[in-house]
Structure 1
Amino acid sequence: MAHALSQAQKDSFDRDGYLVIRDFFSAEDAARLRAAAAALVDNFDLDSHPKTKFSTGEEQDEHVGDKYFLESGDKIRFFFEEKSLDAKGNLLVPRTRAINKIGHALHVLDPVFKEFSTRSSVRDVVRSLGAFEDPRILQSMVIFKQPEIGGRVGPHQDSTFLYTKPLSAMGLWFALEDCTPENGCMYFLPGSHKTVPVSRRFVRKPDGSGTTFVSLVDEDIQDPPEEDYVCEPTPVGTVVLIHGSVLHKSSQNLSSKSRWIYTFHCIEGRAEYPKDNWLQNADGKPFTPLLT
């Protein structure tokens, strides 16, 4: 396998809960993905859009959870930065600088992202990691981290949002632009996938009115200090493998430069995927096989 992980890389991922691989894809690939994302943003119908903002819950009581969000698992939908709209839903910045992210089925519905997500180099990495028998892609996103208004994403574990029994989520995070401390690069708490349990799940409310978190443990889990996190600047062309239980975050983008990335997540297809997880395909359609 041309892009198979070395034993040293696998050991690093096992130890730290993430692995940074620079020069994994070309500048031409990045430009192609950026162009595809820009075309999607340019062409969606703004007039009919519900103006759903993407919130991680740090600046308001609840994480995003409206119908537009909950029905996005098998669609391509657009979510605004919290500071891009006024109280009446009017844009405060041009639409090209207003979108927080596109999700969550780019890997299924957009030919450029579909090809990139399932190309042989990606399959080689996932196969060689040895963590999956039947890896399934269940969500994909372009996250823009817009200049001057790109919001902070606080410490979190992806398995909170993509929960399976047993836990199996893993993210592949591709830098489409240079990601720096100034424009909101990633920070990780190395080894936290082994020391900090996944203590809650992000689920649909039973009455269908939105989303909420449910606890998986009886006691409160103390959050490790954020000063222990390691900053990981990633130049364009980098992929980062992210264990579903490792704590990570990104800072607000106060710079004049955007921080575009593409990411998708895999789960083990043989694991149990609860029906109250927030992300569901319509009509119970299976998630996308990666290796076939």
Structure 2
Amino acid sequence: MIEPHPPIASLKSDFDRDGFIAITPLFGPEKMAEINREFERYCETRVPEMKDTEVFYEEKGNRGTLKQMQNMQMYDAYFRDLLETDTIRSLAEAMLGEKARAVNLEYFNKPAGIGKPTPPHQDGYYFHFNPPAAVTGWLALERVDPENGCIHYVRGSHRVPGYRPHGRSEILGFSQGITDFGTEGDREGTVAFPGEAGTFLMHHSKTIHWAGPNTSPTRARRALGFVYFGESAKVDEAARAAYQAKLQADLRAAGKI
């Protein structure tokens, strides 16, 4: 069910140089069919149990526009196992070069025709930690391409000291975006990653990434995200809690949750 992929040493070399890896695919059709079946079950049985701060819709109250979910591992054993067992976690630890803890299993969708763009950003900017020892894995649940909003990375952007300046984004689920994106280096370093279901990407917490809107009238762009923190990463819990509280208050005031 797990497809052959390049040796870990080769993947680690790519990751250190570029800030990301791509395995096409990580899981074969049988495993992806299983994951998609379990996901449909999750939507039917678990989503109604989730907090409104963990599930988001492009159109509030319209279940057909489900956009994003957080902490799926907290509600379901199948997805907890998918996050915490060896296949993906071992890749995270290999890329980080240290033990890692599973933090979050997310769902990302761009519904057909209305899916918004993902602003250029660096995940670590949201995490409130130091050092920035974390990775995010991204598993395509269906074909992704430029039409429905595939991911783009800026190669080597994780090696630049600090973070790029971020400012408030109006895109639900992505509260901050890079305000000076679009430099010559950004354009020359950008790499797009279309692929079939089972395509797996993993990036460093400082790697700049973004995605376009879904312009397809018929196809969604569904994916799972896997967040791991290295054991060396120390989170400023007070700063993180304050940020989340303000974000949730802003979303409630705007009628988005």
TM-score interval for Structure 1 and Structure 2 normalised by the shorter chain: 0.7 to 0.9
State the Cα deviation string for residues 231-276 of structure 1 (Å, max 9, x = none): 1112211211111111000110010211111111111234211112
Residue in structure 2 matched with residue 134 of structure 1 by the alignment: 99
Offset, 1:3: 6.9
CA distance in 2, matches of 1:147, 1:11: 36
TM-aligned CA distance change 1:232 to 1:196, over 3 Å = farther
TM-aligned CA distance change 1:168 to 1:145, over 3 Å = same
Larger Rg: 1
Match runs of 1:20-59 below 5 Å = 20-43=22-45
SS of the counterpart of 2:40? helix
Residue in structure 2 matched with residue 194 of structure 1 by the alignment: 159
Residue in structure 2 matched with residue 59 of structure 1 by the alignment: none
Offset, 1:149: 0.9
Match runs of 1:62-73 below 5 Å = 68-69=52-53
Q: Which letter does structure 2 place at the counterpart of 1:224? A: T
As a proportion of its length, which structure holds more strand? 2
Residue in structure 2 matched with residue 149 of structure 1 by the alignment: 114
CA distance in 1, matches of 2:47, 2:229: 32
Residue in structure 2 matched with residue 115 of structure 1 by the alignment: 81
State the Cα deviation string for residues 59-90 of structure 1 (Å, max 9, x = none): xxxxxxxx942xxxxxxx32111xx24xxxx6
Of all paired residues, the percent bearing the same amino acid is 23
SS of the counterpart of 2:155? coil
Alignment partner of 1:98 out of 65, 73, 91: 65
Offset, 1:125: 1.9
Offset, 1:175: 1.1
Match runs of 1:261-272 below 5 Å = 261-272=223-234
Residue in structure 2 matched with residue 227 of structure 1 by the alignment: 187
SS of the counterpart of 2:240? coil
Do 1:4 and 1:124's aligned partners in 2 also have CA atoms closer than 8 Å? Answer: no
Q: Does residue 1:236 correspond to 2:197, yes or no?
A: yes
Do 2:93 and 2:99's aligned partners in 1 also have CA atoms closer than 8 Å? Answer: no
Instruction: Point out 4+ residue stretches in structure 1 off by more than 6 angstroms.
Output: none
As a proportion of its length, which structure holds more helix? 2
Residue in structure 2 matched with residue 10 of structure 1 by the alignment: 12
Task: Give ranges in structure 2 of 5+ residues lacking alignment.
Answer: 168-174, 245-257
Do 1:140 and 1:263's aligned partners in 2 also have CA atoms closer than 8 Å? Answer: yes
Aligned pair count reads: 230
Match runs of 1:161-240 below 5 Å = 161-195=126-160, 197-199=162-164, 224-225=183-184, 227-228=187-188, 229-240=190-201
Alignment partner of 2:56 out of 79, 88, 97: 79
CA distance in 1, matches of 2:78, 2:33: 11
Task: Give ranges in structure 1 of 5+ residues lacking alignment.
Answer: 50-66, 70-76, 203-211, 214-219, 281-292
Do 1:163 and 1:169's aligned partners in 2 also have CA atoms closer than 8 Å? Answer: no
Query: What RMSD in Å do the two structures reach over aligned CA positions?
Result: 3.2
Q: Which letter does structure 2 place at the counterpart of 1:259? A: R
Q: Which letter does structure 1 place at the counterpart of 2:230? A: E
Indicate the larger mover: 161-170 or 241-250: 161-170
Q: TM-score, length-normalised on structure 1?
A: 0.68
Do 2:66 and 2:109's aligned partners in 1 also have CA atoms closer than 8 Å? Answer: yes
Do 1:163 and 1:201's aligned partners in 2 also have CA atoms closer than 8 Å? Answer: no
Residue in structure 1 matched with residue 252 of structure 2 by the alignment: none
Q: Does residue 1:277 correspond to 2:240, yes or no?
A: yes
Offset, 1:39: 2.8
Do 2:19 and 2:204's aligned partners in 1 also have CA atoms closer than 8 Å? Answer: yes
